[in-house]
């Protein structure tokens, strides 16, 4: 059985490699439900909804801890009842498998 992407660990990206093509990135979306492929396949984003500000803040805190553990950091925007998370690998100006690993792990944090 193939390893679930959420079971993988992010690997350091030192740049110098091409980003995933839009088609390759699209192939990962089945393992990261709810995430949208944007900017011609250079970014993925998902919006999460919560009952109030406290729940959104707690979730963002958990995502921050995960990002530190994995060494791969998303862009996060949040407020009352929502958190929007965007992922891309800045060193390659596009998507890498790490972005989808983080998306799958963030989905798990959200109980999805």
What CATH number did the domain enclosing 48 receive? 3.30.1360.20
Task: Classify residue 2: in a domain, yes or no.
Answer: no
Assigned domain for 13 exists: no
pLDDT, position 15: 76
Our count of domains for the chain comes to 1
Is residue 37 in a domain?
A: yes
The half-sphere exposure of 64 on its side-chain side, counting CA atoms within 13 A, is: 10
Whether 1 is in a domain gets the answer no
Phi, psi dihedral angles at 78 (to 5 degrees): -150, 165
List the end-to-end C-alpha distance of the chain, in Å, as a whole number: 21
| Close Cβ partners of 67 (under 8 Å, ≥ 6 residues apart) | 73, 74, 102
Q: Which domain holds residue 49?
A: 19-109
Query: Does residue 54 form part of some domain?
Result: yes
Residue 74 in domain:
yes
Model-level pTM greater than 0.85? yes
User: What is the full per-residue pLDDT of the chain (112 aa) written as tens digits?
Assistant: 456 899 999 988 877 889 999 999 999 998 999 999 999 899 999 999 999 999 999 999 999 999 999 999 999 999 999 999 999 999 999 999 999 999 999 999 998 7
The answer to whether residue 41 sits within a structural domain is: yes
The reply to whether 76 falls in a domain is yes
């Amino acid at each position: 059985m193939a390893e679930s992407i959420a079971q993988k660990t992010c690997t350091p990206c030192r740049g110098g490699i091409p980003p995933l093509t839009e088609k390759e990135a699209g192939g990962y979306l089945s393992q990261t439900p709810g995430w949208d492929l944007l900017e011609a396949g250079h970014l993925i984003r998902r919006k999460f909804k919560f009952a109030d500000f406290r729940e959104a803040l707690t979730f963002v805190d958990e995502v921050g801890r995960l990002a530190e553990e994995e060494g791969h950091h998303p862009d996060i925007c949040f407020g009352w009842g929502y958190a929007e998370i965007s992922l891309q690998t800045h060193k390659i100006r596009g998507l890498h498998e790490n972005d989808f690993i983080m998306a799958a792990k963030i989905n798990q944090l959200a109980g999805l």
